[in-house]
Amino acid sequence: MQGSGVDSSLNVRGMAQARAFFNMYSHIRFDKVYTSFLKRTKESVAGFIEAGIPYESLPGLNEISWGKKEGQAITPEEDAYYHWMLDQWRQGNTHLRIEGGESPEDVVKRQEVALAGILKQEEERNILICMHGRAIRILLCRLLNYPLKCMDMFEHENLCLYLLEQTGSSFIVRKYNDTSHLKNRVGEPAVAV
Protein backbone atom coordinates (compact mmCIF):
# COMPACT_ATOMS: atom_id res chain seq x y z
CA MET A 1 0.00 0.00 0.00
CA GLN A 2 1.45 3.33 -1.06
CA GLY A 3 0.77 6.35 1.12
CA SER A 4 2.75 9.30 2.41
CA GLY A 5 5.33 7.03 4.04
CA VAL A 6 6.37 5.40 0.76
CA ASP A 7 8.48 7.81 -1.29
CA SER A 8 8.97 5.74 -4.42
CA SER A 9 9.79 6.94 -7.91
CA LEU A 10 7.53 6.49 -10.89
CA ASN A 11 7.87 3.22 -12.76
CA VAL A 12 8.26 3.04 -16.56
CA ARG A 13 4.50 3.26 -17.08
CA GLY A 14 4.24 6.26 -14.73
CA MET A 15 7.03 8.07 -16.58
CA ALA A 16 5.25 7.46 -19.90
CA GLN A 17 2.02 8.81 -18.40
CA ALA A 18 3.88 11.88 -17.13
CA ARG A 19 5.30 12.53 -20.62
CA ALA A 20 1.83 12.15 -22.15
CA PHE A 21 0.38 14.60 -19.62
CA PHE A 22 3.12 17.13 -20.37
CA ASN A 23 2.74 16.68 -24.13
CA MET A 24 -0.99 17.41 -23.89
CA TYR A 25 -0.80 20.39 -21.52
CA SER A 26 2.64 21.94 -22.15
CA HIS A 27 1.01 24.78 -24.13
CA ILE A 28 -0.74 26.05 -20.99
CA ARG A 29 1.05 28.90 -19.24
CA PHE A 30 0.92 27.90 -15.61
CA ASP A 31 1.92 30.57 -13.12
CA LYS A 32 3.09 27.92 -10.67
CA VAL A 33 3.18 24.18 -10.07
CA TYR A 34 2.48 22.75 -6.63
CA THR A 35 3.41 19.20 -5.62
CA SER A 36 3.43 17.13 -2.50
CA PHE A 37 6.75 16.42 -0.78
CA LEU A 38 6.80 12.94 -2.34
CA LYS A 39 9.13 12.57 -5.32
CA ARG A 40 6.57 10.79 -7.50
CA THR A 41 4.56 14.02 -7.78
CA LYS A 42 7.62 16.04 -8.82
CA GLU A 43 8.47 13.35 -11.37
CA SER A 44 4.88 13.46 -12.68
CA VAL A 45 5.19 17.16 -13.55
CA ALA A 46 8.93 17.20 -14.29
CA GLY A 47 8.34 18.50 -17.82
CA PHE A 48 6.72 21.67 -16.48
CA ILE A 49 9.42 22.16 -13.86
CA GLU A 50 12.18 21.61 -16.45
CA ALA A 51 10.43 24.18 -18.69
CA GLY A 52 11.10 26.76 -15.97
CA ILE A 53 7.69 27.05 -14.36
CA PRO A 54 8.16 27.95 -10.68
CA TYR A 55 7.17 25.16 -8.33
CA GLU A 56 6.74 24.53 -4.64
CA SER A 57 6.39 21.30 -2.69
CA LEU A 58 3.96 21.35 0.23
CA PRO A 59 3.63 18.56 2.82
CA GLY A 60 -0.06 19.38 3.13
CA LEU A 61 -0.55 17.91 -0.35
CA ASN A 62 0.94 14.53 0.60
CA GLU A 63 -1.07 11.34 0.28
CA ILE A 64 -2.93 10.04 3.31
CA SER A 65 -0.74 8.02 5.64
CA TRP A 66 -1.83 4.39 5.74
CA GLY A 67 0.32 3.86 8.84
CA LYS A 68 1.74 0.40 9.46
CA LYS A 69 0.21 -0.89 6.23
CA GLU A 70 2.42 1.23 3.97
CA GLY A 71 4.95 -0.62 1.88
CA GLN A 72 3.51 -3.98 2.94
CA ALA A 73 2.21 -6.75 0.73
CA ILE A 74 -1.52 -6.94 1.20
CA THR A 75 -2.90 -10.19 2.57
CA PRO A 76 -6.56 -11.12 2.09
CA GLU A 77 -7.19 -10.14 5.73
CA GLU A 78 -5.53 -6.73 5.29
CA ASP A 79 -7.46 -6.16 2.06
CA ALA A 80 -10.71 -6.91 3.91
CA TYR A 81 -9.69 -4.48 6.68
CA TYR A 82 -8.85 -1.78 4.12
CA HIS A 83 -12.26 -2.17 2.46
CA TRP A 84 -13.94 -2.18 5.87
CA MET A 85 -12.22 1.15 6.63
CA LEU A 86 -13.32 2.64 3.31
CA ASP A 87 -16.87 1.53 4.10
CA GLN A 88 -16.62 3.19 7.53
CA TRP A 89 -15.57 6.43 5.86
CA ARG A 90 -18.48 6.18 3.39
CA GLN A 91 -20.77 5.85 6.41
CA GLY A 92 -19.42 9.13 7.79
CA ASN A 93 -16.85 7.80 10.26
CA THR A 94 -14.13 9.95 8.72
CA HIS A 95 -12.36 10.33 12.07
CA LEU A 96 -11.24 6.66 11.91
CA ARG A 97 -7.71 5.83 10.81
CA ILE A 98 -5.75 2.71 9.98
CA GLU A 99 -3.35 1.93 12.82
CA GLY A 100 -0.51 4.44 12.84
CA GLY A 101 -2.00 6.36 9.92
CA GLU A 102 -4.22 9.34 9.25
CA SER A 103 -7.95 9.77 9.04
CA PRO A 104 -9.55 11.84 6.26
CA GLU A 105 -10.19 14.51 8.91
CA ASP A 106 -6.45 14.58 9.70
CA VAL A 107 -5.69 15.08 6.01
CA VAL A 108 -8.19 17.96 5.77
CA LYS A 109 -6.39 19.77 8.59
CA ARG A 110 -3.03 19.69 6.85
CA GLN A 111 -4.57 20.42 3.45
CA GLU A 112 -6.20 23.55 4.88
CA VAL A 113 -2.76 24.97 5.69
CA ALA A 114 -1.48 24.21 2.18
CA LEU A 115 -4.64 25.52 0.53
CA ALA A 116 -4.57 28.77 2.50
CA GLY A 117 -1.01 29.36 1.33
CA ILE A 118 -1.89 28.62 -2.29
CA LEU A 119 -5.06 30.73 -2.39
CA LYS A 120 -3.44 33.81 -0.88
CA GLN A 121 -1.10 34.02 -3.90
CA GLU A 122 -3.49 36.21 -5.89
CA GLU A 123 -0.99 36.73 -8.71
CA GLU A 124 -1.08 32.98 -9.39
CA ARG A 125 -4.22 32.72 -11.52
CA ASN A 126 -3.44 29.49 -13.37
CA ILE A 127 -1.87 26.78 -11.25
CA LEU A 128 -1.18 23.06 -11.56
CA ILE A 129 -1.42 20.94 -8.42
CA CYS A 130 -0.03 17.41 -8.53
CA MET A 131 -0.98 15.16 -5.64
CA HIS A 132 -2.30 11.70 -4.80
CA GLY A 133 -5.50 9.68 -5.14
CA ARG A 134 -7.03 9.70 -1.68
CA ALA A 135 -5.70 13.20 -1.00
CA ILE A 136 -7.31 14.44 -4.23
CA ARG A 137 -10.66 12.97 -3.21
CA ILE A 138 -10.45 14.66 0.17
CA LEU A 139 -9.43 18.01 -1.34
CA LEU A 140 -12.26 17.90 -3.88
CA CYS A 141 -14.78 17.35 -1.07
CA ARG A 142 -13.44 20.44 0.66
CA LEU A 143 -13.32 22.64 -2.45
CA LEU A 144 -16.77 21.58 -3.69
CA ASN A 145 -18.46 21.58 -0.27
CA TYR A 146 -19.24 17.87 -0.08
CA PRO A 147 -19.11 15.93 3.19
CA LEU A 148 -15.96 13.80 3.50
CA LYS A 149 -18.04 10.64 3.41
CA CYS A 150 -18.69 11.43 -0.28
CA MET A 151 -15.01 11.34 -1.26
CA ASP A 152 -15.28 8.10 -3.23
CA MET A 153 -17.64 9.75 -5.72
CA PHE A 154 -14.52 11.48 -7.10
CA GLU A 155 -12.92 8.76 -9.18
CA HIS A 156 -9.31 9.04 -10.20
CA GLU A 157 -6.76 7.35 -12.40
CA ASN A 158 -3.03 7.89 -12.24
CA LEU A 159 -2.15 11.14 -14.03
CA CYS A 160 -5.79 12.10 -14.53
CA LEU A 161 -6.81 15.74 -14.72
CA TYR A 162 -9.41 17.52 -12.65
CA LEU A 163 -9.84 21.04 -14.02
CA LEU A 164 -11.39 23.42 -11.52
CA GLU A 165 -12.36 27.03 -12.03
CA GLN A 166 -12.58 29.41 -9.09
CA THR A 167 -15.14 32.19 -8.88
CA GLY A 168 -14.88 34.07 -5.60
CA SER A 169 -14.77 31.39 -2.92
CA SER A 170 -16.56 28.78 -5.07
CA PHE A 171 -15.08 26.14 -7.35
CA ILE A 172 -16.62 24.47 -10.41
CA VAL A 173 -15.35 21.24 -11.98
CA ARG A 174 -14.73 21.74 -15.71
CA LYS A 175 -13.03 18.36 -16.30
CA TYR A 176 -13.57 15.26 -14.19
CA ASN A 177 -10.99 12.45 -14.00
CA ASP A 178 -9.91 13.26 -17.56
CA THR A 179 -7.43 10.77 -19.01
CA SER A 180 -7.74 11.68 -22.70
CA HIS A 181 -4.04 12.59 -22.72
CA LEU A 182 -3.16 8.97 -21.88
CA LYS A 183 -4.67 7.50 -25.04
CA ASN A 184 -1.51 7.85 -27.14
CA ARG A 185 1.31 7.24 -24.70
CA VAL A 186 4.74 7.02 -26.24
CA GLY A 187 7.44 4.89 -24.65
CA GLU A 188 5.14 2.77 -22.54
CA PRO A 189 5.68 -0.98 -22.68
CA ALA A 190 2.83 -3.00 -24.14
CA VAL A 191 0.80 -4.87 -21.57
CA ALA A 192 -0.95 -8.11 -22.49
CA VAL A 193 -4.36 -8.54 -20.89
64 located within any domain: yes
Per-residue pLDDT tens over the stretch 109-142: 999 999 999 999 999 999 999 999 999 999 999 9
Task: Identify each DSSP E strand in the chain by its residue range.
Answer: 32-35, 55-57, 127-130, 161-167, 170-178
* Assigned domain for 146 exists: yes
In a domain, 1, yes or no: no
Digit-coded pLDDT (tens) for 14-56:
999 999 999 999 999 999 999 999 898 999 999 999 999 999 9
For residue 165, the enclosing domain spans 12-182
Other residues' Cβ atoms within 10 Å of the Cβ of residue 165: 10
Quote the number of domains for the chain.
Answer: 1
* In-domain check, residue 7: no
What CATH number does residue 19 fall under?
3.40.50.1240
Question: Do 182 and 135 form a contact (C-beta atoms < 8 A)?
Answer: no
Task: Give 190's pLDDT tier (boundaries 50, 70, 90).
Answer: very low
Ordered alpha helix ranges (H), 4-75: 12-25, 39-44, 46-50
Q: Is pTM beyond 0.85 here?
A: yes
Handedness of CA 100, 160, 79, 42 (dihedral sign): negative
Is position 192 within any domain?
no
* pLDDT, position 187: 53
| pLDDT, position 99 | 87
